[in-house]
Structure 1
Amino acid sequence: MSRRWSFSSLMLVAGLLFVYLPMVILVIYSFNASRLVTVWGGWSLQWYAGLLDNSQLMSAVGRSLQVALYTAIAATALGTLAAFVLTRIPRFKGRTLFGGLVTAPLVMPEVITGLSLLLLFVAMAQLVGWPAQRGLLTIWIAHTTFCAAYVSVIVSARLREVDQSIEEAAMDLGARPWKVFLLITVPMIAPSLAAGAMMSFALSLDDLVLASFVSGPGATTLPMEIYSAVRMGVKPEINAVASLILLAVSLFTFLAWYFTRRAEERRKRALQLAILEATQGS
């Protein structure tokens, strides 16, 4: 008897096709020998080889990867500290205001955020002379401000699940708070830190609106380069570079998931072994 497809299964398949089918088509057409995107001219690797000669596009890729990497590091650090304050300090003056400011970028339209940061940078340049001109540094600051909110939400959810008795026991044994945080809390929330870093990297690499407001001459990111190019038609080189980015992100995500899973399995085995030894010793 054949299994009937339920409505939820059909909606799941339709949703996955809607999300991933355009990516598959993009990868296929990156091997198209024809310069016209709508005309299939056979299989070819010429557009991948042509990327080496397209210095403008490759420079934009390098700038985007550089900003995304720095954003992931800074947003993870700031978001983790904000999440730690919100979850480990239950009461302090201005807690509600602080929590609202941390999560505000999640609901704020990017146009408003970008315009606000642009006005801020212009006012600072007039008052203190910094930044002298907008570029990669201002893009990095804008992306860090935006992505830290996502990291704080992810890490906060993980911190609320962590058993605080372990941290309290370490402090009772004489460990200082910073040592407890680095040696006990951080390893327990490592999966959420990795998830926040990867999300920050992806959001920064994908951002167009914020970068358009706070960028300057010579600081064009990949989304800005692609946006300016597709208005005159999609070039085959864009399909090729997008396919390479998809491959790199997919590979990095798989490796992060694999090593995180192995670390979690080792931690569980070590915990079970410690419980077994404690049981036998008693």
Structure 2
Amino acid sequence: MNASSARWGNRLVLLLGFAFLYAPILSLVVYSFNESRLVTVWSGFSTKWYGELLADREILDAAWMSLRLAVFTATAALVLGTLAAMLLTRFRRFPGKTLFGALVTAPLVMPDVIIGLSLLLLFVTLGELLGTPIPRGMLTIWIAQTTFSVAFVSVTVASRLSALDRSLEEAAMDLGATRVKVFFQITLPIVAPALLAGWLLAFTLSLDDLVVASFVAGPSSTTLPMKVFSSVRLGVSPKINALATLLILAVSAAAVVGWWLMAREERRRRRDVALAAQRG
């Protein structure tokens, strides 16, 4: 086999892989404009299911709750995950560092069912110790989702901090800058792309969470994945296709914006490094 045949073979395999991944999503988007109530039978182009989706108050309330939870969870996970990453990468040795690192990254490999059940038992036990049951709702879902999102953020930020040139921070401190000032003016701008990536990852994980939220949610706190799952069990409605299409557009727009911001920060960082090398 010559080089040209191997190159075309690689392209074919790549094309088949992308088709396997994205063809179902494309068909879902196409059938969201189907006039028929049957999601697998095409009967004409129509946008009526988008109108019915926007008129469905239960789905809109669930979507609004999921969006709020995703923002709160991503923000809390970003703060806690960054602190954990700083502790793991900037402090050489301290008692229990290995155990701390294992506990931080444990949710990466732990099944969602175990995490959800453990957190449910935790809330029940705390209610018994306090003498009053802890109401399960948006607060308990936020705590649960933050718990497993911290692991993903800490790993993302820690990898960027490990690759950071420590001489930049040391040079700033030699010139009289405090550790706090070095963190906000040197470290934070450099690791900003990793922080943005961690926030977007936690946001997506929270928005997509079904298993953990099902354990710790109350009767009046239905998230969007829970609502979609309960609807699909009774039969797929074209409104679900419309909802999925809108979510795909929103997530794609957020990913493009995030990629653009990270690329801009990376170009700025390389330019600053090049200028510093020329001056040196």
Judge same fold: TM > 0.5, yes or no.
yes
Listed as ranges, the gaps of 5+ residues in structure 1 are none
Greater shift after overlay, 264-273 or 147-156?
Answer: 264-273
AA partner of residue 81 (structure 1):
L
AA partner of residue 102 (structure 1):
V
C-alpha distance in 1, partners of 2:178/2:219? 48
C-alpha distance in 2, partners of 1:90/1:191? 24
* Residue pairs, 1:248-259, within 5 angstroms: 248-259=250-261
CA 95–63 in structure 1, closer or farther in 2 if over 3 Å, else same: same
- Tell me which residue corresponds to 2:114: 112
For residues 79-123 of structure 1, the C-alpha deviation after alignment (integer angstroms, 9 at most, x for no partner) is 111111111111100011101100100111110110000000111
AA partner of residue 270 (structure 1):
D
Residue 9 (structure 1) shift:
3.7
- Tell me which residue corresponds to 1:93: 95
C-alpha distance in 1, partners of 2:41/2:169? 62
- Tell me which residue corresponds to 2:54: 52
* Residue pairs, 1:72-151, within 5 angstroms: 72-128=74-130, 132-151=134-153
Residue 7 (structure 1) shift:
5.1
* Residue pairs, 1:1-282, within 5 angstroms: 3-4=4-5, 5=7, 8-128=10-130, 132-276=134-278, 278=279
C-alpha distance in 2, partners of 1:82/1:151? 9
Moved runs in structure 1, 4+ residues, more than 2 A? 1-15, 129-132, 266-276
C-alpha distance in 1, partners of 2:87/2:50? 47
2:74, 2:199 within 8 Å by CA — same for their partners in 1?
Answer: yes
CA 214–147 in structure 1, closer or farther in 2 if over 3 Å, else same: same
CA 172–129 in structure 1, closer or farther in 2 if over 3 Å, else same: farther
C-alpha distance in 1, partners of 2:24/2:49? 19
2:37, 2:238 within 8 Å by CA — same for their partners in 1?
Answer: yes
2:126, 2:134 within 8 Å by CA — same for their partners in 1?
Answer: no
Aligned sequence identity (%): 55
C-alpha distance in 2, partners of 1:6/1:88? 47
2:35, 2:42 within 8 Å by CA — same for their partners in 1?
Answer: yes
For residues 152-183 of structure 1, the C-alpha deviation after alignment (integer angstroms, 9 at most, x for no partner) is 11111111110001111111222111221111
C-alpha distance in 1, partners of 2:147/2:206? 11
CA 87–40 in structure 1, closer or farther in 2 if over 3 Å, else same: same
Aligned pairs, number: 278
